[in-house]
A and B are shown apart, each in its own frame.
Chain A
Amino acid sequence: MSNYNLETKLWSVADELRGNMDANEYKNYILGFIFYRYLSEKQEKTINKALEDDNLTFKDVQKDTVIYEVVQKDSLSKLGYFITPELLFSTIIEKTDEEEFILDDLQKAFNQITNSSQGTESQDDFSNLFEDVELNSSKLGKTPDEQNDKISKVIRKLNEIDFKLDEDESDILGDAYEYLIGQFASSAGKKAGEFYTPQEVSTILARIVTLNKDRLKSVYDPTCGSGSLLLRVSKETKVADFYGQELNQTTYNLARMNMILHGVRYNQFDIKQGDSLENPQHLNQKFEAVVANPPFSAKWSSSKKFMDDERFGAYGKLAPKSKADYAFVQHMIYQLDENGTLAVVLPHGVLFRGAAEEKIRRYLIEEKNYLDAVIGLPKNIFYGTSIPTCILVFKKCREHDDNIIFIDASEHYEKAKNQNKLRPEDIDKIVTTYAERNEEDKYSHVAPLEEVIENDYNLNIPRYVDTFEEEEPIDLDELVDELEQIEKEIQEVDDKIIEYCKELGIRPPVIRRD
């Protein structure tokens, strides 16, 4: 309901910083502060609720060492962190009323959140979470006082917004947070091949990997970004555990905040930082659902050592240096459980490019028979790139293992301002067509494996889904009738023209052929 309101209000906090720096930088402040306030209020609420029967609040019990210690322990085990009363968001807001200097306290609060989890189970989830929120950046102001002034304004503005944490089951704040991440992504411009996955595309992936499952043991995303794809899967079905890896430190921080903000408990997610091709962190695990939107045609080392790597060795060739697309696919397949489903967004080139990629493609189909579906998406649906993309779906145990379904959804979208957008009905159509393996003229085709072999394992969609618009044939007789009619009318006009020309004494431009 007021979802939209919360989103716009949160986005408007960014106005305070917009003049000082670009989106990529101020997002760290906004998202960091929102997260800090969330943790702070969540803790206060949790503790206050526990103390309700005693008619006490968290701030009342700070002098009582015994109760205080119990409360602290409780918070650590329930939430995974603990903030002392003088460093709560509400306390710091009070200080800004008096225009006090708060930057030191804020820094202390951040350190406390990360340090309180040291040596506990939640350590990995909170370490270095706030490192991107640089409180003494010169971009905030020249002097510490100016910096303090700016930050105070931002957090006071943030304080005016109601986070609606009382609405327990709802995900309002989490979704608004997600919306902000998306907004920042679209206004920050692109970085080499990294694009924020639009929600519509995440939804398709999520719905495909959760088809016919009322719960998932695990979901894994090797290039998880801010974690939105993982969370999207949990909107479709109950997910026990979330696993992810993200190369970019800042985005990795966001992913962990995003998880916590969506109410995923610290012991339910395991997100690691690092390059999942060079330095995979979950190699000894298999997952029931694997999803990803890896950077499009990223560079990777393609180093010979990978020929000895279990993930890549059997294929005979490594993905080329300049295009890691298939390396990610191979990595994901390695992590996929026997009963699981893998859905990945890739650029169109993976369908038809030759050389090593052709070899890998062929191996996946001929030797493994893992490929279950090829779905062509409309062009220009990603922020910052117009490149046409596709979704590949892989399964280790395929129900329909003698065919592959091809879906050409490239013409099914709505034109928005700068972007093409998939409508809910477009998403439904893709998922239903895939689930039911429907064949529809100019949209989908269930291709027997022989057909794919005939095409030399080239998966380019037009070879399978015929979308060629043939010209409507017009009846020859009809055309000749029309021609005769025109000829007659020309003759009549000619008669008139000849008449006029005679009167004017000039030669008529009419040659009678009869």
Chain B
Amino acid sequence: MDKSTQRSDNTVKDHKQDLIIPKLRNNLFKDNWSTKKLGDISKIIMGQSPSSSNYSDDTDDTILIQGNQDLNNGLVVPRIYTSEITKISKPGDIILTVRAPVGDIAINEYDCCIGRGVCSITPHENKLFIYYYLQYLNNKKIWNKYSQGSTFESVNSKDIKNLKIKIPSINEQNYISEFLSSIDKKIEFMEKKYNCLLQLKNNIITNLFCNEDMYQPLLKFNDEKWEYITLNEIGTTYSGLSGKSKDDFGVGTSLFVPYKAIFDSEIIDINLLENIKINDSEKQNLVKMYDILFTSSSETPEEVAMTSIFLNNYDNCYLNSFSFGYRVTAKFINPIFLNYYLRSPMLRKKFYKIAQGSTRYNISKKEIMKLSIKYPSSETQEKIISFILNMNNNISNLRREIELNKEFKRSLLSKMFC
């Protein structure tokens, strides 16, 4: 336990010669920061859980915040409600989680009831400054020291009230919080942009391919007519590993593509490949470059027959037993084009129809091979591939930019407080 909590006096004494200033600071500000206890510069209300029989889904009841499952991205997300009101948090208060895990925070925008997993803080100083300060403390993992040795991580009201906050003049508080919130705002906008680009991509992809009853797709590069063909006519299938026992997995020098690698993305991420032991005498199917891999069973019919393309050249890579491979043999079909086509909403709908099962859903190779597609000239296929690839790059670049901005904010948090 923090020694300071055992002292009876309210102010924490600092040695005169200690300068309390942050590493990064606007030159305009010269004053030394002072050390206060959180309990002295804010009102703290510890949560108290209503009886669980009073919980409800009724949005006319009061929102109940129980823990970090009710917080997301610094905001309260209403999840459950209660008809019994124990302790109240007001709009603008800071919510801090006090048990497993301790230290998550959010700005509350509602009149709500708080359970014993959280507390509500109403600062007398700049609210955002305290909010960011708590984020800084959480990044520094200061809550860890309170939970050492205990099985259920939690802090009590004393711990929170005695929490030491180093705080500058109100002007500097305003300055720092305005800067940090503009970065938060930027991140928020970029997330919005990211979702918007994803939707844009889906929207475009839907119309970039041609439906069976159409002559050409809605979004077209030229006026050519798309041809009709079944999967049977343009490629062959092969099955995944067979006859392997539990002991063969995770060892050996060969690799295999696990189910999840296919399910997760449209291009196999080779970092997800796993090891397997294959003997020389075994007859197993190798996965080759440009093979399209299908999952053949899933928990829901919506998820059946996801496809992913293998774009690497390996001579020792195999396929898991719950999937099958498809190798394009026709010269006029670009496998990458086909792979995008198979992931498009139009084809997903066809897979959904032929998926069958009771507890798990399966799809038969035979049925899939009967499906038909429409395709344009090789040049147009190339154009479509390149268009989608560019959209994808654009999106993944933005994702990286968002992550960099989050890093930037973390680094500011660590330098602008002390």
Task: Report whether A482 and B196 are in contact in the complex, using a CB–CB cutoff of 8 Å.
Answer: yes
The 9 closest A-B pairs by CB, nearest first: A493-B186, A500-B179, A352-B356, A460-B356, A486-B193, A348-B358, A496-B182, A509-B408, A490-B189
A483 touches B197 (CB 8 A): yes
| Bound-state Cα–Cα, A108 to B106, Å | 76
Q: Which of A351, A471, A476, A509 touches B200 (beta carbons < 8 Å)? A: A476
Q: Which residues of A contact B193 (CB under 8 A)?
A: 483, 486-487, 490
Is A387 on the interface with B (CB-CB < 8 A)? yes
For the complex, is B349 an interface residue (Cβ under 8 Å from A)? yes
Secondary structure class of chain B's binding surface, majority of residues: helix
Cβ-based interface call for B202 (8 A) = yes
* Size of the chain B interface, CB-CB below 8 angstroms: 38
Mark A residues whose CB is within 8 Å of B: 347-349, 351-352, 386-388, 458, 460, 462-463, 466, 468, 470-471, 473-474, 476, 479-480, 482-483, 486-487, 489-490, 493-494, 496-497, 500, 503-504, 506, 509
Q: What's the minimum C-beta distance from B183 to chain A, rounded to whole angstroms?
A: 6
The verdict on A463 contacting B186 (CB below 8 Å), with A476-B200, A504-B24, A509-B405 known, is: no
CB closest residue in chain B, given A465? B353
CA distance A493 to B199 in the complex (A): 24
Q: Which of A349, A479, A497 contacts B203 (CB 8 A)?
A: A479
Cβ–Cβ contact B204 & A468, under 8 A: no
The answer to whether the Cβ of B395 comes within 8 Å of any Cβ in the partner chain is no
Q: Could you tell me if A387 and B196 are in contact, using CB atoms closer than 8 angstroms? A: no
**Most chain B beta carbons < 10 A, residue from A387, A486, A496, A506:** A486
Bound complex: CA of A463 vs CA of B352, how far in Å? 9
Chain A residues near B404 (CB-CB < 8 A): 509
Among candidates B189, B192, B204, B359, residue contacting A387 with C-beta atoms closer than 8 Å: B359
* A474–B206 CA distance with the chains assembled, in angstroms: 11
Q: Name the residue on A nearest B359 (C-beta).
A: A387
Interface bits B18-29 vs A (CB < 8 Å: 1, else 0) = 000000111110
Contact indicator A476/B204 (Cβ below 8 Å): yes
Tell me the minimal C-beta distance from A381 to chain B in angstroms.
13
B385 interface residue (CB < 8 Å to A): no
Residues of A within 8 A of B359 (CB): 386-387
Q: Chain A residues near B185 (CB, 8 Å)?
A: 493
Contact, CB under 8 Å: A479 / B199? yes
State in angstroms the CA–CA spacing of A474 and B190 once bound together: 20
Residue of B nearest to A467 (CB): B352
What total of A-B pairs shows CB separation below 8 Å?
81
16 contacts between A and B (CB under 8 A): A349-B358, A462-B301, A468-B302, A468-B352, A474-B199, A476-B203, A479-B199, A479-B203, A483-B200, A489-B189, A490-B190, A490-B193, A493-B186, A497-B179, A504-B24, A506-B24
Residues of A within 8 A of B302 (CB): 468
Residues from chain A with a CB closer than 8 A to the CB of B206 are 473
Residues of A within 8 A of B202 (CB): 471
Q: B354 contacts the other chain (Cβ, under 8 Å)? A: yes
Whether B358 contacts A347 by the Cβ 8 Å rule is: yes
A500 with B358: CB separation less than 8 A: no
> For chain A, what secondary structure do more than half of its interface residues adopt (helix, strand, loop), or is it mixed?
helix
Asked if A503 and B26 sit within 8 Å, CB to CB, the answer is: yes
Complex Cα spacing A118 to B258, Å:
70
A307 to chain B minimum Cβ distance, whole angstroms, is 29
B50 in contact (CB, < 8 A): no
Residues of B within 8 A of A489 (CB): 189
Interchain nearest-CB distance for B303 vs A (Å): 13
Docked CA distance A348–B190 (Å):
47
Residues of chain B contacted by A506 (CB below 8 angstroms): 24
Asked whether, in the complex, the Cβ of A483 is within 8 Å of the Cβ of B196, the reply is: yes
Whether A470 lies near B182 (C-beta < 8 A) is no
B355 within 8 A of A: yes
Q: B182 contacts A493, CB within 8 Å?
A: yes
CB of A474 within 8 A of CB of B182, answer no
- Is there a chain A Cβ closer than 8 Å to B74's Cβ? no
- Shortest CB-to-CB span from B40 to chain A, Å, is 29
* Residues 322-346 of chain B, each 1 if its beta carbon lies under 8 Å from chain A, else 0: 0000000000000000000000010
With the chains together, A387 CA to B360 CA distance in Å? 11
A490, B192: Cα distance in complex, Å: 11
Instruction: Please give the distance in Å from A511's CB to the nearest CB on chain B.
Output: 9
Interface residues of B in 274-317 (CB under 8 A from A): 301-302
Give bound CA distance, A50 to B206, whole Å: 82
In the complex, residue of chain A having the shortest beta-carbon distance to the beta carbon of B407? A509
The listed residue with most A CB atoms (<10 A of its CB), out of B186, B345, B348, is B186
CB-based contact B26/A504 at 8 Å: yes
Among A351, A462, A479, contact of B353 (Cβ-Cβ < 8 Å): A462
Q: Are B349's CB and A494's CB within 8 A?
A: no
Report whether A479 and B358 are in contact in the complex, using a CB–CB cutoff of 8 Å: no
Chain A residues whose CB sits within 8 angstroms of the CB of B182 once the complex forms? 493, 496-497, 500
Q: How far is the CA of A480 from the CA of B203 in the complex (A)?
A: 11
CB atoms of A463 and B353 under 8 A apart? yes
Q: Cβ of B353: which chain A residues have Cβ within 8 Å of it?
A: 462-463, 466, 468
Docked-complex contact A490 and B355, CB < 8 angstroms: no
| B200 & A480 in contact (Cβ 8 Å cutoff) | yes
Q: How far is the CB of A193 from chain B (nearest CB, A)?
A: 14
> How far does the Cβ of A493 sit from chain B's closest Cβ, in whole Å?
4
Tell me the minimal C-beta distance from B247 to chain A in angstroms. 30
Known contacts A471-B202, A476-B203, A504-B26, A490 near B358 by CB under 8 Å:
no
Cβ–Cβ < 8 Å partners of B25 in chain A: 504
